[in-house]
Amino acid sequence: MDAGLSARQIKLRMNEIGQDPRDLDFILVTHEHSDHIKGIARLVKLYGTKVMMNNKTYLASRGHLPEELKLLDFTTGKKFRFMDLLITPIPISHDAADPVSFIIRTGGIKAAVMTDLGFVSNELFRELKDLDIFILESNHDLDMLMGGSYPLFLKRRISSLTGHLSNTAAAEAIIKISPKERSHIFLAHISETNNHPDIAYSSVRELLEEKKALGSNLHLTYQNRPTALFQVPL
């Protein structure tokens, strides 16, 4: 799902959890921002990795993609099958050409990957019921963002309806979908400048406990190291 690190870092981090980028079947792309596609060109050149993205994202990013790219495109909002996966690309609110989140079903497991969005639409909420795995953006602590060193225009962009979810917004989204008792939620896309993994975790957990919604397993992801490998069903 996306490849925003360098190919070298992706290889190193996959190797840390016993995986090899040569075994990647494809890269599924959410949008064209550099922190989501930076490693694609090199991975394609090294390993011939297939890439899936919608047409507008391809047009917006093709200057950064190699000629030998094996592109498999999809249509936003339209379910499609690939291998043993049923994938639904859902449109999201972000400042990109045609950004999406993904709902993925396989073997009785339902997962969602939802990062880089300013708010959660009703369409997304309808799709987020009965999740087993939820990878959710918890990008910033609003006080850290507004009191930090970023210029005002960037603070406004991040906190806008086409920006990123705060820790509070992430918790509110989890509460609203009422996850299954044994589902697993991973907080992702945590800003190094305007957040901290411990703050994201404690903020989200506190709000979930307050609303008596902490029946799920809550996990962190990190910018500087890979998350432990999870096998499904969990």
Mean pLDDT across 99-121 = 95
Total-model pTM: 0.94
pLDDT at 234: 63
* 57 has a pLDDT exceeding 80: yes
Q: Confidence band (pLDDT; 50, 70, 90) for 24?
A: very high
Higher pLDDT, 60 or 71: 60
* 148 has a pLDDT exceeding 70: yes
Q: Which residues are CB-contacts of 102 (< 8 A; sequence separation ≥ 6)? A: 1, 28, 30, 87, 88, 89, 90, 112, 113
Q: What percentage of residues in the chain have a pLDDT greater than 70?
A: 99
Q: What strands lie across the sheet with 26-28, from one edge to the other?
A: 26-28, 50-54, 70-74
Distances from the Cα of 24 to the Cα of 30, 39, 118, 130, angstroms: 17, 13, 30, 27
Task: Count CB neighbours of 115 within 10 A.
Answer: 23
Mean pLDDT across 9-34 = 96
**Cα separation, 163 vs 47, whole angstroms:** 33
**Cβ atoms of residues 109 and 133 within 8 Å:** yes
**Cα separation, 90 vs 151, whole angstroms:** 31
Question: What digits encode the pLDDT tens for the residues 196-231?
Answer: 999 999 999 999 999 887 777 999 999 999 998 887
Question: What digits encode the pLDDT tens for the residues 121-143?
Answer: 998 999 999 999 999 999 999 99
- In the DSSP assignment, the letter for residue 226 is P
- In the DSSP assignment, the letter for residue 166 is B
Q: What strands lie across the sheet with 109-114, from one edge to the other?
A: 80-82, 85-91, 100-106, 109-114, 133-137, 184-188, 217-220
- DSSP SS3 for 209: helix
